[in-house]
């Protein structure tokens, strides 16, 4: 039988063998979510932030028929310089095909959760998860990230779902799927670039220890799936809802007029919002990822304590 083709960076293998905290990181945000060279700067700073938090970073990507769990500085740079058209955007549906054909692939939230779980990593930090797209009643475009949260036992730290989505529908689907959506340190759900979506969170927790204990309890109860920790962007980095919402509306209208569909939707919207805000959305996006990395490192430490 074919074995899962995992290649560990030496520091990740050591940390896992010694029971030290490890935080997984995705790579689609590098290849399809941010432009060069800010994508590399973000990826390097996120790794450094996790190290400062006392955990080992494991950025996950597919290269040469192997799942790489932790990338060398050279591999990280090469990935950041790969044009979006040359890297597959991998979710549950395409992971095995990418591996079997030896192509280069960047892992979304869903694929990163699968790989992290195979590698024995229980915590993962990202920017924002995918979710139910606006107009999903016609397009049926619902990110596979939601199904993955329902079945793979990894705690995902994000700044909510990306505000380009239909947020109320996204939270409804997660509730239906039995995924705990936990706002960190506040009563309302954050909305990616803004701290407050105006929507009340189904659950709230105020410490990494509680979040780690809830993950252990799910396992003890035999419940499948992970947890979503919705961590609000730092105040100084947020873009107010009344500023970002019209920009999102304009980007969505352009996507529709140009017939952008399927996997191209999220990358198109993110890059148009970046242009329309003259880079401000990207700076906020980077700051919220760093903030999520800090919290994820603390949760990983609590899970190994």
Mark the segment that binds ligand PSU (CB under 6 A) among 23-31, 41-49, 66-74, 274-282: 23-31
Binder to Mn ion among 141, 148, 166, 238 (CB under 5 A)?
141
Q: Which of 74, 162, 263, 275 is catalytic?
A: 162
- Distance of closest approach, residue 29 Cβ to ligand PSU, in angstroms: 4
- The reply on whether position 29 binds ligand PSU by CB under 6 A is yes
- Binding-site partner at residue 126 among ligand PSU, Mn ion, none, CB < 5 to 8 Å by type: ligand PSU
SS3 letters for the chain?
A: CCCCCEEECHHHHHHHHCCCCEEEECCHHHHCCCCCCHHHHHHHHHHHHHHHCCCEEEEEEEECCEEEECCCHHHHHHHHCCCHHHCEEECCCCHHHHHHHCCCEEECHHHHHHHHHHHCCCEEECCCECCEECCHHHHCCECHHHHHHHHCCCEEEECCECCCECHHHHHHHHHHCCCCEEEECCCECCECCECCCCCECCEEECCHHHHHHHHHHHHHHCCCCCEEEECCCCHHHCCCHHHHHHHHHHHHHHHHHCCCCHHHHHHHHHHHHHHHCCCHHHHHHHHHHHHHHHHHHHHHHHHHC
Contact positions with ligand PSU (CB under 6 A) in 232-291 = 263, 266, 270, 285
- The reply on whether position 226 binds ligand PSU by CB under 6 A is no
- Binding-site partner at residue 277 among Mn ion, ligand PSU, none, CB < 5 to 8 Å by type: none
Residue 144 labelled as part of a binding site: yes
- The reply on whether position 40 binds ligand PSU by CB under 6 A is no
Q: Tell me the number of residues near ligand PSU by CB under 6 A.
A: 17
Q: Which of 26, 47, 148, 238 is catalytic?
A: 26
Catalytic site positions: 26, 162
**Which amino acids are annotated as binding site for substrate, given as ranges?**
89, 109, 143-145
Which residues of this chain interact with ligand PSU, rule CB under 6 A? 26, 28-29, 32-33, 108-109, 126-128, 130, 143, 145, 263, 266, 270, 285
């Amino acid at each position: 039988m074919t074995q899962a083709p995992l290649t560990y960076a030496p520091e990740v293998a050591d940390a896992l063998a010694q029971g030290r905290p490890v935080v997984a990181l995705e790579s689609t945000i590098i290849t399809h979510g941010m432009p060069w060279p800010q994508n590399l700067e973000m990826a390097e700073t996120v790794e450094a932030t996790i190290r400062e938090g006392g955990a080992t970073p494991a950025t996950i990507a597919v290269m040469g028929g192997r799942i790489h769990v932790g990338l060398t500085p050279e591999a990280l740079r090469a990935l950041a310089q790969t044009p979006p058209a040359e890297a597959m955007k991998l979710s549950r549906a395409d992971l095995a095909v990418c591996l079997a054909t030896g192509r280069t692939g960047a892992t979304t939230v869903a694929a990163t959760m699968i790989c992290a779980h195979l590698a024995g990593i229980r915590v993962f930090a990202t920017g924002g998860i995918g979710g139910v797209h606006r107009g999903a009643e016609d397009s049926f475009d619902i990110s596979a990230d939601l199904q993955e949260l329902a079945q793979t036992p990894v705690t995902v730290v994000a700044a909510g779902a990306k505000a380009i989505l239909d947020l109320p529908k996204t939270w409804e689907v997660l509730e239906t799927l039995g995924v705990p959506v936990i706002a960190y340190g506040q009563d309302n759900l954050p909305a990616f670039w803004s701290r407050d979506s105006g929507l009340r969170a189904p659950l709230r927790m105020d410490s990494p220890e509680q979040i780690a204990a809830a993950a252990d309890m799910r396992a003890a109860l035999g419940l499948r799936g992970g947890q979503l920790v919705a961590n609000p962007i730092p105040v100084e980095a947020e873009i107010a809802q009344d500023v970002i919402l019209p920009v999102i509306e304009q980007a969505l209208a352009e996507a529709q007029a140009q017939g952008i569909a399927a996997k191209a939707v999220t990358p198109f919207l993110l890059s148009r919002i970046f242009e329309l805000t003259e880079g401000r959305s990207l700076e906020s996006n980077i700051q919220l990822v760093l903030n999520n990395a800090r919290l994820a490192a603390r949760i990983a430490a609590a899970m190994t304590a």
